[in-house]
Amino acid sequence: MDEDAAPWLFLCDPQFEPALLNELGIDGGAPYTLSPGWIQLPHAPERQCLPAAFARQTLPAALEFPIESVKRGSKELAENIIAFFRKRAEPERWRLHVIGPDLASSRVQLIEEHVRRLLKERRRLLFRTLSADTAENAYFEGGEALVQIALVHANKVALSIVPDVLNNPVRPCLSPFAAGSIAIPEDRAAPSRAYRKLLEAQLQFGFEIQPGQSCVDLGASPGGWSYVALRQGARVLAIDRSELRADLMAHPALEFLSADAFRYVPPEPVDWLLSDVVAFPERIRELTERWLSGGWCRYFCVTVKFRGDQNYSQLIEFKGLLRKYAAPFFLRRLGENKNEVTMMGACLTPDQSLRAVNHTL
């Protein structure tokens, strides 16, 4: 199958279809909206539009089947999965997501049960390498494939298989969680609910702050992100005009600087740039470019906040910027983001950046 010529499916929050279509370079959405939250393009989008920030989950090159009976449809799905992996080396690990408009719908659950049972009966080896779908199993492993089955209508199902996700160009579009959705555990000791955004970004995009790493947290008050970084063993320089919660201010691994986030220049490169500053997207883009082009950090997690739907068109410029200075990079409106998107990634060295100018996703 020519993967660029096959349909691509995108799942988004129902009110975000117009924003997503616009992001994908499509004017007027009716023929592309399958049902609330489901967008289908007849072919792969232009690479510069990816990753689609407003898509919770993406199903690249998705083959479609009518599904009149769960039993017959599941059989066809299982046969296609087996055939796909027979043509390639079977993966050491793979995960299976069966999703629908409503994950709990009985039809979705039935399809998943049937497909799993058929695979177990017909291809025991393949079944054994199926990863458990749990929160502990958040990160894609080397060589792991992602198989997604989507019930896009009561009688239509789509199958998308991405081999070796970590080395696949579509990796930034994929969530390791079914339908891109993960529940962040409640932590009543955190100083604000913003801690959830950083935790979700880490889980969705596969980054951890390592003990001993240095973090600059811009717009840090009241301290949710600093709290997460400290809990993960980092040393934190928190910058804001307002102080953080008292216990964080007194933490031995935290230094507080009352300063303007946009004027701060680190005296030496740090491991992590964290930024949750409230500012216009243009200013966040300039700030991100200064940090990434200057080689001031190795990794970054930065939110971009919007007002209404103005400025969504700027996302393409953010993607261009990230493509130039980072690999891998991610940009997505996460479950914990309201009208904002989160960018996260690893910075390229200046040498790699020069070579990345022509790099496509």
Residues with catalytic roles: 305
Q: Closer CB to ligand SAM, residue 210 or residue 242? A: 242
Return the number of the residue (173 or 234) whose C-beta is nearest ligand SAM. 234
SS3 49: helix
Q: Cα angle at 245 between 244 and 247, to 5 degrees? A: 120
d(CA 221, CA 278): 11
Helix (H/G/I), strand (E/B), else coil: 33: strand
Nearer to ligand SAM by C-beta: 104 or 278?
278
> How many residues appear in the chain?
361
Interface positions, 34-73, toward ligand SAM (CB under 6 A):
none
Phi/psi at 205 (5° precision) = -105, -5
Query: Which one, 21 or 194, has the nearer CB to ligand SAM?
Result: 194
Pairing of strands 235-240, 57-59: unpaired
Task: Name the minimum Å distance from CB 107 to ligand SAM.
Answer: 40
CB of 305 to ligand SAM, least distance (A): 8
* Contact track, ligand SAM, 225-254, x by CB under 6 A: x-------------xxxx------------
Q: How many residues bind ligand SAM (CB under 6 A)?
A: 21
Nearer to ligand SAM, 150 or 201 (CB): 201
Q: How far is the CB of 195 from ligand SAM (least distance, A)?
A: 6
Phi and psi at residue 216, to the nearest 5°: -105, 125
- Give the gyration radius of the chain's Cα atoms: 21
Q: Give the dihedral of Cα atoms 352, 355, 359, 361; nearest 10 deg.
A: -10
Which residues does 208 contact at the CB level (< 8 Å), separation at least 6?
202, 232
**Smallest gap, in angstroms, from Cβ of residue 4 to ligand SAM?**
39
Tell me how many degrees the CA angle 224-229-234 measures, rounded to the nearest 5: 150
Residues 254-293 that bind ligand SAM (CB under 6 A): 260-262, 276-279
Site for ligand SAM in 170-229 (CB under 6 A): 192, 194-195, 219-225
Secondary structure E strands in the chain: 8-11, 33-35, 38-41, 57-59, 63-66, 94-99, 145-153, 156-162, 214-218, 235-240, 254-258, 270-275, 297-305, 326-332, 340-347
Distance CA 281, CA 331 (A): 14
Closest approach of Cβ 135 to ligand SAM, in Å? Answer: 21
Other C-beta atoms closer than 10 Å to the C-beta of 42 total 10
Residue among 146 and 220 whose Cβ is closer to ligand SAM: 220
Q: Closest distance between ligand SAM and the C-beta of residue 247, in Å? A: 13
Binding site for ligand SAM (CB under 6 A): 192, 194-195, 219-225, 239-242, 260-262, 276-279
